[in-house]
Amino acid sequence: MTQAPQPVIPVCYRHPKRETYVRCSRCDRPICPECMNDASVGHQCPECVAEGRRTQRPVRTTFGGTMAGAKGYVTISIIGLNVFMMILAAATAGGGTSLFGGSGFGGLLGGLTPLHIWGALVPAPTTFVEVQAGEVVGIAGSTDGVAHGEYYRMVTSMFLHYGLLHLLVNMWALWVLGRTLEGVLGPVRFLALYLAAGLGGSVSVFLFAGPHTASAGASGAIFGLFAALFIVLKRLGRDTSSVIPILVLNIAISFVPGISLAAHVGGLVTGGIVAAAMAFAPRKNRTPVQVSAVIVVLIVLLGLTLLGTQMLANVPEALVGI
């Protein structure tokens, strides 16, 4: 007389000592409660969940960016870099009140430091001299200027500021504008927009400001973000009435002596062009169109820089008092 075979109780494929009657809805392998992952239908094992993540297309914003922009990591990093440069400027200043807004327009802007003399945007050869009671008492530093090959100043000047108040105003604007734009554009597109607008401001200063000025600040990039916010809101069909008065007010402030109108206008125009390309690129070829637009803008800025170099190549050196 024979006995019927005992039914085999299934065990978890990852934990052989755990009995279970639940199976993965995707691969049908037995899984214990520890290995269960809720799915739209039933449960899935860890391997099937991982495979689904690899094959699933990442969620994109309206403008093609990743959702990582919502974290604001690029905005925070740019602010951190600007603060770090201010600390370096303080370290090179050797004391004094210039970094705290002790000189410049109504005390709003700080004075030059050795780091500014190295990295601010100075178009043509300039020697900065220390003047007291109308007499030259020393030489603070000199530069050959952008026109004589110091093109790095087009970038370094974007991260230098004259005094803490100058820094705080720009970083507050970057914090407000940057988080919003990085969230809708994504981190890579936002960084491209910021740098292009900043370079646009630098090129404008190089072409239209005085050949012996020392310009610095993130204002060109910030104005580019203002233009981008207006365009992005228009593209999304949102109300822009709150942006226009702030933009008009900032443009009006740009005419105040000691503030670089050229940087603001250059950043505004460049940022607006890049933002328009990103916002209105056709969905089918969105990324290639956006990348091509940024490249074209950079090529135009390079051509304008070379033109400015030819214009300022023979400008004689000047002494500038500080």
DSSP secondary-structure letter at 16? T
CA pseudo-torsion sign 212, 215, 221, 224:
negative
Structure tokens at 229: 């916010």
Cβ pair 220, 177 in contact under 8 A: no
Report which of 190, 178, 177 is spatially closest to residue 63, judged by C-alpha positions: 190
The alpha helices in the chain, defined as continuous H runs, are 46-55, 73-93, 114-119, 153-156, 164-185, 187-208, 219-235, 243-253, 261-280, 286-312
Residues marked as catalytic: 219, 264
Tell me the C-alpha distance between 131 and 118, whole Å: 19
The torsion angles phi and psi of 188, rounded to 5 degrees, stand at -70, -50
**Which residue, chain included where needed, has tokens 């604007």?**
173
Nearest to 247 by CA among 298, 115, 236, 234: 234
266: helix, strand or coil: helix
The secondary structure of 201-236 as a DSSP string is HHHHHHHHS-TT--B--SHHHHHHHHHHHHHHHHHT
- Residue among 9, 18, 19, 12 at smallest CA distance from 43: 12
d(CA 53, CA 58) in angstroms, rounded, equals: 9
